Amino acid sequence: MSLLQTVDLRRVFSETGEDLEILKGVNFEMETGELVALTGSSGSGKSTFLNLVGMLDTPTSGEILFKGKALSKFNDAERDRYHRVQVGFVFQFHHLLSEFTAIENVCVPGRVLGTSEKECKERAAMLLETVGLKDRLKHLPRELSGGERQRVAIARALMNHPDLVLADEPSGNLDEANSAMLNELIGELNEKFNQAFLIVTHDEKLASFAKRRVVMHGGVIQ
């Protein structure tokens, strides 16, 4: 059974009385532990696709299956678990809480889930050490570099042991050196934790790190 599958996925936006079809029947499949890069030109539908898979938006038609079950059939409890546990999110901008330290930011998903403070801090410290920030646990976001902030964001995404991490241009706001470091880190995390990564990226070097690369063009995967 595939971890994630989309079947004839379509998304139409209605603006000023006209329909704009962004996704035109996307069929896609990935397995547990896969590292997949989704590339394509701007406007091809990549981020829209990621938002649908992450249940941040609803498809116009078609279906998304996670571990064989259609997301459209999820009840409230299953939707909540999908957002909080089964899927982790990393965006181009880190979206860290400015008044929280690095370890406190990483703990947030665990605390929302009801995990004890002790367990949260132990896992957060382990994840921050894994991403190379063991000496930055008590630093605020403003005291961290752009690359360090993005590594905190990745650690946060891994907090609740997700099966799938969705990353939208994770290196898009970084310089070349930090982008290279992030690329290697994602590959290492994928190997270490056997968690699937679906990464939307324009970064050719990041795409080359993926075990599989798919290209979206004109609202379909080629």
How far is 126 from 134, CA to CA, in rounded Å? Answer: 8
Lowest mean pLDDT among 12-26, 53-67, 94-108, 148-162: 12-26
Strand order in the sheet with 18-30: 18-30, 4-15, 61-66, 69-70
Is the pLDDT at 128 greater than 80? The verdict is yes
Tens digit of each residue's pLDDT (9 = 90 or more) over 90-116: 876 778 989 999 999 999 999 988 889
DSSP conformational letter for 114: T
How far is 51 from 165, CA to CA, in rounded Å? Answer: 12
Strand order in the sheet with 87-90: 87-90, 164-168, 196-200, 35-39, 212-217, 220-221
* C-alpha closest to that of 107 among 121, 95, 126, 90: 121
In 3-150 the beta strands, taken as DSSP E runs, fall at: 4-15, 18-30, 35-39, 61-66, 69-70, 87-90
The residue that leads in pLDDT, 179 or 148, is 148
Place of tokens 């690329």: 183
The pLDDT of residue 30 is: 95
Is the pLDDT at 9 greater than 80? The verdict is yes
The proportion of the chain whose per-residue pLDDT surpasses 90, expressed as a percent, equals 57
pLDDT band, very low/low/confident/very high, at 59 (cuts 50, 70, 90): very high
Q: 201's torsion region: left (phi>0), alpha (psi -120 to 50) or beta?
A: beta
Q: 74's torsion region: left (phi>0), alpha (psi -120 to 50) or beta?
A: beta
Tens digit of each residue's pLDDT (9 = 90 or more) over 22-55: 999 999 999 999 999 999 888 788 989 999 999 9
pLDDT band, very low/low/confident/very high, at 219 (cuts 50, 70, 90): confident
The pLDDT of residue 185 is: 82
Is the pLDDT at 73 greater than 90? The verdict is yes
How far is 211 from 59, CA to CA, in rounded Å? Answer: 27
CA 153 distance to own-chain centroid: 10
- Please, what is the average pLDDT of the chain? 89
Is the pLDDT at 122 greater than 90? The verdict is yes
